[in-house]
Chain A
Amino acid sequence: MDFLAEHQPELLPGNRQLPPTQGVIEAPHGTTIVAATFPGGVVLAGDRRATMGNVIAQRDIEKVFPADEYSAVGIAGTAGLAVEMVRLFQLELEHFEKVEGAQLSLEGKANRLSTMIRSNLGMAMQGLAVVPLFAGYDVDRAKGRIFSYDVTGGRSEEQGYAATGSGSIFARGAMKKLFRADLTEAEATTLVVQALYDAADDDSATGGPDVARRIYPIVTVITEDGFRRLGDDESSEIARSILERRLEQPDGPRAALL
């Protein structure tokens, strides 16, 4: 934010001087975020684990946040920095909306996030990277869209589905086989939880649904009606039904061979 840069530069993440360090700084890292579109909107979901090296730092971290009424951002990477980045991003969108009297376009929001990630490049090179996934409902085009980023702020729009974080390889594989263009909202939410389950299955840093502690993935849906986070009862329902099927078929649903 230009005003902040002029008046209180110390509040901006990119303006801090880092002391030279040896080796990797140990800080909690968030892991897997997945997103998928369906006709009429987009779903964005994340697991609940934060890790610090081989230790589970937090079991119930929240990594998916509403950015404004029509968009959400899920964060993978250094948790502390990522949460701050999201807070600043939310502030910027709201500030723009109030001053200009109109919302930023979805492209505009995605570009803004890109600049913020780039300003973090110095820290990313010291091992404190933040790599978010941005999803929103494009009011002008009347459809859900997903944007993924790399550490340098490079932005690319993803068609259909996307994943970021340490378990993203496995989540992407799962979604590749299960995704269809004509999913309903309920099917899309099931799809992303399936993908998170597969990520947790193969990646130690991603947490699966924790039935004993009642910690389930955060699932959010953005449609024409705006942002909605599924309640605990809804997400536990999805996680439990998946879990039940996996007791019979541990690898999950099978796609057709040909």
Chain B
Amino acid sequence: MSTPFYVSPQQAMTDRAEFARKGIARGRSLVVLQYADGIVFIGENPSRALHKFSEIYDRIGFAAAGKYNEYENLRIGGVRYADLRGYTYDRDDVTARGLANVYAQTLGTIFSSAAEKPYEVELVVAEVGETPEGDQIYRLPHDGSIVDEHGSVAVGGNAEQISSFLDQRHRDGMSLAEALKLAVQALSRDTNGTQREIPAERLEVAVLDRTRPQARKFKRIVGRQLVRLLEADGAASEAESAENPEDSGSSEE
């Protein structure tokens, strides 16, 4: 019988992490931002049928970058978890924290089990609160750790560059149009620093809007509404910043 090669656990984990990171980096990036009335998800997605963002429960949204079949699997698992929780107890007992924990467990188990290949996905779970202070955004990398984020988060191929760009420019209390404009700016920067144009029909946009009267706060922004927001923002934010240059965003609240 031949002796199997010895691979140190460190080396094995590094290899797996490398593999997962490469897979995630192949996909397009997406960003999640807080704005005055909630949380907005923006990503470049040429497909109308395969969504990157989805509703999990009343106040909880889901965003994923990486391999479609893997995150779709996780998404359906999340919807099941949330619906079962809500039916067994109460709708208020479904929280983003609980869901993020379940995802972290799943991803962590898959990442460290030798029999399976690690999932090439990075998730964002966001919950909109009654006030901006109550908003929660969790980022879940491929290895099952949880990162509690505030303000803005980017995942996917070019994530590091985009998130540093967003960190510098994101403010609390931005209007939806402002947040959208900032996100599109961030997404359209290429790795080598050049800008490219992303047309509205290649964008996927969804919001968790705390001002919605229904219990379910998740809403997709598509078609004309999206075009209107993208066009309106240039004119509106310019006019606004001309009026009161210091705090154009907070007046929106």
Contacts and interface: CB of A to CB of B under 8 A. Distances in A.
Contacts, number: 27
Nearest to B50: A101
B97 to A, nearest CB: 20
Instruction: Tell me which of A7, A88, A91, A99 has the highest count of chain B C-beta atoms within 10 A of its own C-beta.
Output: A99
Contacts of B86: 91
B239 to A, nearest CB: 33
A91 B87 contact: yes
A88 B87 CA distance: 8
B51 A98 contact: no
A88 B88 CA distance: 10
B79 interface: yes
Nearest to B79: A98
A253 B153 CA distance: 65
A99 B51 CA distance: 11
Interface of B: 51, 54-56, 76, 79-80, 83-84, 86-88, 216
A4 B87 CA distance: 11
Interface in A72-101: 87-88, 91, 94-95, 98-99, 101
13 contacts: A4-B84, A7-B84, A11-B87, A11-B88, A87-B87, A88-B87, A91-B86, A91-B87, A95-B79, A95-B83, A98-B55, A99-B79, A101-B51
B51 A91 contact: no
Contacts of A95: 79-80, 83
B56 to A, nearest CB: 7
Give the contact-size bracket for chain A. Answer: 10 to 19
A32 to B, nearest CB: 28
Contacts of A91: 83, 86-87
B73 to A, nearest CB: 12
Instruction: Tell me which of B56, B79, B84, B87 has the highest count of chain A C-beta atoms within 10 A of its own C-beta.
Output: B87
Contacts of A99: 76, 79
A98 B76 CA distance: 9
Nearest to B76: A99
Nearest to A226: B214
Contacts of A8: 84, 88
Q: Which 9 A-B pairs have the closest CB atoms?
A: A98-B79, A95-B83, A91-B87, A98-B55, A99-B79, A99-B76, A3-B80, A91-B83, A101-B51
Contacts of B79: 95, 98-99
A95 B55 CA distance: 10
Contacts of A101: 51, 54
B192 to A, nearest CB: 36
Nearest to B80: A3
B29 to A, nearest CB: 22
Interface string A1-23: 00110011001000000000000
B206 to A, nearest CB: 12
A218 B164 CA distance: 54
